[in-house]
Structure 1
Amino acid sequence: MAMVTSDRITLLNDVKPFKSTWKVEVKVLHSWTQRSNYPGGDSLQFILADKTGVKIHCTCKRLFLARVKKLQVGQWRFIENVSVTPAAGKYRPTSHAYKLTIISNSNVTNSSLKNDDEFLSLTTFPEIMNGSLDSNVLIDVIGQAIDIGDMQVVPVQGKETKKLELTLTDTEDHQIACCLWGRYAEQLLYTYKVGQVNKNFLCLLRFAKINFYKGNISTKILISIYLDLYFNLFQLFTLFVVGQVQITNAFDTSTLEINPPGFDVQDYIRLYVIRSYHNTF
């Protein structure tokens, strides 16, 4: 197939499946290898953002890896000629309705655009806890790490896997459970016990998964039901659905950064000290 080039740059919000001759200008935010036992083998996955901050998932099969050598994390690139298909399933790295797939005539070239924005889309703890979010879409979340437990080793799909449970707290005194697996658990525990950082530190977990399940720590989702009773009176019944909300890394899709620039752990420590003081009385 002949290579088709275009001078027109399309924003990510505007790409649609009806053609493959799109040209986009994007920054590579993250990349990872997705292992597979299926025909075609492993694939390379990317999370891309355009200058407006819109993000999209991009995938490249092993057959076309030579075409994405220039897609390096932190760099701006032009990508021409990509397949656009609906995004579906679990662990979707972005909320975009579509994803990009590198094809036989895809072309990646350098861009002169300079923009150091990491295009964070931080999700607040109340948004996570009230059950309003699509748990199939991964999120960015930041908080101070507290109540860090001991490293556990548990069997996962026949393999011994490291697991670390902790709590994240925000500047408004909201707390949420967090569970890290594998190298993410190792990274945080190293920071806490060995690393040359203060014991008070922030964790930025990008492209993280929301888990919902029954547990002892409860998040109360208020559902108000109005019933028409005698004499046209209305009575309010409140139903509390109890369960635990937990943040966890989504395999290698997620990234973990300790004390990211632009955030001050003191904003979190002050609140933690006040809370600890009140709990002593």
Structure 2
Amino acid sequence: MARRVNMISEINDSISTLKLQVRVMSLWEVMKFENNAEVQSLEMLLIDEEGDKIQATANDSHINKYRSSIIEGNCYLIGNLTVSKNNGRYKVTRHNFRLFFQNTTAMKEVNSEKIPKSKFDWASFTDIGSGAINRDWIIDIIARVVNINNDKYVHRSGNPTRKIEVELEDERKSRMNCTLWGRYAEDICSELDKSVDNCLVIALHLAIIRDVKGNLELSNSMYGTKLYINPDWEEAKELKNRTYPVDGALSLKSTQLSASSKQTPEEDWLSLTNRKTIADLKTTREVGTWNVLGTVHKLVTNYGWSYSGCSKCTKKIDYENNIAKCKNCKGTVFAVPR
């Protein structure tokens, strides 16, 4: 007897044999912190015919097996996924659980007109400001750009990166600041320079909420965020056709870039890094490198804080007649504090 297809709403950690028919609504790669050229995980936002969504992850050990088989926008029949609590620092969906690919996960591409191509859950700025929307949620927003507060290049990890700060107004006429980085900032500025009617409506899929010196604002995530500019959607048309009083006329042309400025190390690190809390690290099933923001409560001086490691393989080295030797590399090496 063929196994029944489960709905996303049914998923919990008591299901031992899971089978889903879903569309890959969004697909993105997360790069390794220590090597931005290597992929750490393949992330997916899956949607079923009921419009429910859940996040699925293929970690680095499974990426090569599944990467070529998964195409954003296509539908798949997927079985044998691991179900885990959705305890991450940033939650892509409101579902209590998330999925992980394993060696036995099976996939088959299918055609299904019943599954929507996309479904956005627009967050209102009022709900964000009131706390009705959790700051750990990754959200969708659609709004009109009403002001450009700043447009400049900053140095991030030694490289110049464009940063634009805009003020947005949503359908409820509530306003919120939004900071966009890199290619997102470049895309906004390019459209502003080409704009004829001086009107810009943007939609951010998978945006993050940031607390900047006590004020909440929006930003793109380091990976995964999609930016839509003046999309041909009814919600966007309504915002675009909104009128403003003459004395409140908006000037949205991209301003002259200010001189390149340098962020403080704290601002640079906090902006878009992959962060987890200590509690997250204790419960996560993800494999990767994460940053933890915390306060030093007490210094432990009983043990050393570093060791002499091999410059090639990082393993601990031994000294023979004051010469560094690595058992793993089987030879003389340079010692590096680690």
TM bucket normalised to smaller: 0.7 to 0.9
Structure 1 distance, partners of 2:199, 2:112, is: 37
Aligned residue for 2:164?
A: 164
Where do 1:41-190 residues align within 5 Å?
Answer: 42-65=40-63, 66-114=65-113, 115-190=115-190
Structure 2 distance, partners of 1:6, 1:63, is: 30
Deviations 1:141-179 (A, max 9, x none): 000112124532223355433211001112332111111
Structure 2 distance, partners of 1:120, 1:265, is: 13
SS in 2 for 1:72: coil
Contact 1:34/1:42 (<8 A) preserved: yes
Task: Say if 1:170 and 1:48 are closer, same or farther in 2 by CA, change over 3 A.
Answer: same
Letter of the aligned partner of 2:128 in structure 1? I
Task: Say if 1:6 and 1:162 are closer, same or farther in 2 by CA, change over 3 A.
Answer: farther
Task: Say if 1:38 and 1:78 are closer, same or farther in 2 by CA, change over 3 A.
Answer: farther
Q: Which moved more, 1:37-46 or 1:100-109?
A: 37-46
Structure 2 distance, partners of 1:176, 1:272, is: 19
Contact 2:29/2:39 (<8 A) preserved: no
Q: Which moved more, 1:182-191 or 1:159-168?
A: 159-168
Aligned residue for 1:210?
A: 209
Consecutive unaligned residues of structure 1, counting only runs of 5 or more, are 215-242
Aligned residue for 1:13?
A: 9
Q: Normalised by the size of structure 1, how large is the TM-score?
A: 0.78
Q: Which moved more, 1:84-93 or 1:200-209?
A: 84-93
RMSD in angstroms over aligned alpha carbons?
A: 2.7
Aligned residue for 2:295?
A: none
Structure 2 distance, partners of 1:197, 1:62, is: 46
Alignment coverage as a number of residue pairs = 246
SS in 2 for 1:53: coil
SS in 2 for 1:151: strand
Contact 1:94/1:137 (<8 A) preserved: yes
Structure 1 distance, partners of 2:198, 2:33, is: 41
Structure 2 distance, partners of 1:47, 1:268, is: 27
Identity of aligned residues (%): 23
Contact 2:47/2:116 (<8 A) preserved: no
Aligned residue for 1:226?
A: none
Structure 2 distance, partners of 1:6, 1:41, is: 36
Task: Say if 1:151 and 1:38 are closer, same or farther in 2 by CA, change over 3 A.
Answer: closer
SS in 1 for 2:162: strand
Contact 2:155/2:161 (<8 A) preserved: yes
Task: Say if 1:136 and 1:158 are closer, same or farther in 2 by CA, change over 3 A.
Answer: farther
Q: Normalised by the size of structure 2, how large is the TM-score?
A: 0.66
Structure 2 distance, partners of 1:72, 1:126, is: 35
Aligned residue for 2:269?
A: none
Question: Which residue of the other structure, out of 20, 31, 41, is the alignment partner of 2:27?
Answer: 31
Aligned residue for 2:238?
A: 267
Question: Which residue of the other structure, out of 230, 246, 250, is the alignment partner of 2:221?
Answer: 250
**Alpha-carbon distance, 1:96 to partner:** 1.3
Structure 1 distance, partners of 2:2, 2:143, is: 43
Deviations 1:58-92 (A, max 9, x none): 11123323235332111111111111111123222
Q: Which moved more, 1:127-136 or 1:263-272?
A: 263-272
Contact 1:166/1:178 (<8 A) preserved: yes
Deviations 1:176-233 (A, max 9, x none): 1111111111111111114x6743121010111112234xxxxxxxxxxxxxxxxxxx
